[in-house]
Amino acid sequence: MHRPDPHSYYDSVQPRARRLRLKLGVDFAAKRIDGEVALEFGEAVSGVLDLDTKGLEILGAQVPGQGPIPWELGEADSVLGRRLRVTMPDGTREVTVRYRTAPDAMALQWLDPQQTEGKVAPYLFSQCQQIHARTMVPCQDTPIARVSYQAEVTVPEGLTAVMSAGPDGDEATGDGRHTFRFTMPQPIPTYLLALAVGRLESRDLSPRSRVWAEPETVASAAWEFAGVEEMIVKAEGLFGPYPWDRYDMLVLPPSFPYGGMENPRMTFLTPTLLAGDRSLVDVVAHELAHSWTGNLVTNASMEHFWLNEGFTVWAERKILRTLHGDDAAALGWATGQKALEDSLERFKKEPHLTVLRMHLEGIDPDDAFSSIPYEKGARLVAALEAHVGEDRFGRFLRDYMDAFRFTSITTEQFCAFVEEQLPGALAAVNAKAYLDEPGMPATAPQFHSAQLDGLTALAEGWAGGQRPTEAQIAAWTPAELLVYLQKLPRQLTQADCAWLDAHFKLMGRGNHEILVEWLTLAAAADYEPAFPRIREVLGRVGRMKYLRPLYGALGQHARTRAVAREIFAAASPGYHGLSRRVVQSVLESYPA
C-alpha cells in the first residue's frame, strides 16, 4: 500500500480513474443528491480499488456487463471519512457506484428561497476544496489523481445548473424536471468539481467570458466585471495562452464562504465583490491567475498548498501591476502583509502551521487554512524573481508551466526544477527558511512606494493627533483608504471611531473590505453606533475572511461578546458549514 496524500485513501499502486461520468439528481426537498458515478480507467484493470467517501449512502457497485461487484465501507475517520473498497474482476474498464449524499454534506450548501436574492426559489452550490469532493461523489479525492469528467444534472424545471465544465446541451424530461449536460475534457483535481443550481441568468462580457447570477444581481455583476477580458489578455501576456477555452463566472448568494473559488470554466465569486464602484474586481485577478498557477499546475496534496496560492498571489499582483502600475501592486502587498501578520499571530502556539512545506497527517486541512501559504509563499516567489531578474524569471515561469502542464506536483519536484533551471537560486534566497522554518525569514522582500510610505506614516501618527486632511480624504482611492485603516492602532477610543465615521462615511460603504476593516475597529472599541451594521453584515455575509476578524474583535468586551453570541445563534443556520466551524472556534476562544 502506498498513500502519497495523507488526506486520501488513494493508493498509487491501484488503478487510477482517468474520467468520471456523473448522473446527479438534485432533490431540494430532501437536501440530497441521488448520484451515479462511472469511473473509467482507460484500460482493462482488476483487483482492489479504494475510494474516498464521507457521509455518503452507498447503494451498490457494479461493472457494466458483469453485474454487481463486492464492496465494503471502512471505519469512519473524522478527517478522511470512510474508505469505500470495491473488488474488480479481470477485464474491468469501468466501475459504477450508486449513492446518495447526506443532507449535511460539507461540499453542498442548500439554501431556502429566503436565503437568496430573489426569495422565490431554492439554491444549491458546492465547495469541494479542501477535501470535500468525497461528500458529493465517491472518488480518488486527491489532487494527484486528476480526472476529466462528463455530467448529467437533473433539476426542477425553472432552475438552471452550471458546473466547472463546458455546457453540452439540455432538455426537459417531461416530469417537471430538466437535465443539463456538461463536459470537462481537461484533467482536473477533484477539488475543482463544482456545481450550482438556482434561478440563474447570464450576461456575455466578451466572446470567451460571461457572468452568471440571480436575475436580481446579474446586471450589477455584469457592470462590475465588464473589464475581465482586459485582465485575461494581460494574464496571457505574462503566462501564455489561456488554457481552459472559456472564463465564466458565477456570483453566488452571500453565504459563500470564500471570496472566490477558481473552478475552471466557472469561477465562483462572493457577492461582496459587488461594491458598485469596481473597487474589488481585483479579486477576479487572483481567481483568473489560478487558471495557470493552481489549475494548470497543481499542488499534489494540501501539504503543498503554497504551490497553488503563493504563486497565485504573486501572479495576481503582477496582473495588477500591468493594469494599474507599481503603486497599486505595492498597496496589494501591504494589504497582504496585514493578512499575513494576522495569521502568524493566530498560529503563534502552532508554529508548525506557519511553514510552507506542511506536515498534516491527522490534521484537517481546513483547520490549517490561513493566509500563510498565500502571502509567505508569494514572498518566496517574489524573492526568486528579484534574485534572477524579471525577464529570466518570466522565461522560467513559462518553462515551469509547460513542464508540469495538467499535472500535480510536490514542493520537492518544484525545488528540483528550480535547481535545474535556476541553479543556486533557492540557496541564494534562503528558500529553506520559507519552506521549513516557522514565521517569516528576516530577508523576506519588503514592498514600498511613496504612496504606501505616506499612508503608513500618517496612520502611525494617529496616537500623536495626526489626522488626514479633507483634501487627502477626498483624493484617496478605496485601496488607499483600506491600507490606512489597516495601519491604524488596533485599539481605538469611541471618540476615534466617531471621528473616522464622520470623515470617511464608513458605515455606508459598499466595499466590504473597507466596511469590515472599519467594523472590526469599531467592535474592538465597543462603539455602539456600529452595532446595527455589525449585526446586518454578520447576519447576511458568510465569507470566512470577514467572520473571523469581526467575531474576534467582538470578543474583547463583555457586552460585545454577548452581542456576538446572539448574532451567531441567529445567523449560523444560514452560514456554510466551513464558516460555522470558523466562528465556533473564535467563540470558544472567548474568556469565560
Cis previous bond, 66, omega within 30: no
Sequence-ordered strand ranges (E) for 384-463? 407-409
Q: Which of 271, 225, 277 is nearest to 115 (CA)?
A: 271
Q: Which of 94, 152, 287, 303 is catalytic?
A: 287
Instruction: Give me 37's grid cell.
Output: 458515478
**Distance separating alpha carbons of residues 7 and 81, to the nearest angstrom:** 10
Instruction: Give me 382's grid cell.
Output: 517574489
Q: Give me the sign of the Cα torsion angle 507, 511, 514, 520.
A: positive
With vertex at residue 378, the alpha carbon angle to CA 375 and CA 381, rounded to the nearest 5 degrees, is 155
Q: Which of 325, 238, 322, 220 is nearest to 280 (CA)?
A: 220
Say whether 287 is catalytic. yes
**Distance separating alpha carbons of residues 390 and 221, to the nearest angstrom:** 35
Cα atoms in the 13 Å half-sphere on the side-chain side of 438: 11
**Distance separating alpha carbons of residues 130 and 302, to the nearest angstrom:** 7
**Distance separating alpha carbons of residues 297 and 401, to the nearest angstrom:** 7
**Distance separating alpha carbons of residues 389 and 383, to the nearest angstrom:** 10
Contact of 100 with 171, CB cutoff 8 Å: no
Q: What are phi and psi of 547, to 5 degrees?
A: -65, -45
Instruction: Give me 248's grid cell.
Output: 465564466
Q: Which helix (H) or strand (E) holds 185?
A: strand 177-188
Contact of 261 with 547, CB cutoff 8 Å: no
**Distance separating alpha carbons of residues 168 and 184, to the nearest angstrom:** 10
Burial of 203 (0-12, 13-18, 19+ CB in 10 A): middle
Q: Which of 374, 484, 546, 551 is catalytic?
A: 374
Contact of 381 with 310, CB cutoff 8 Å: yes
Q: What are phi and psi of 371, to 5 degrees?
A: -80, -5
Sequence-ordered strand ranges (E) for 424-467? none
Contact of 248 with 266, CB cutoff 8 Å: yes
Say whether 99 is catalytic. no
Instruction: Give me 338's grid cell.
Output: 496585514
**Distance separating alpha carbons of residues 505 and 78, to the nearest angstrom:** 46
Instruction: Give me 170's grid cell.
Output: 439540455
Which residues are marked as active site? 287, 374
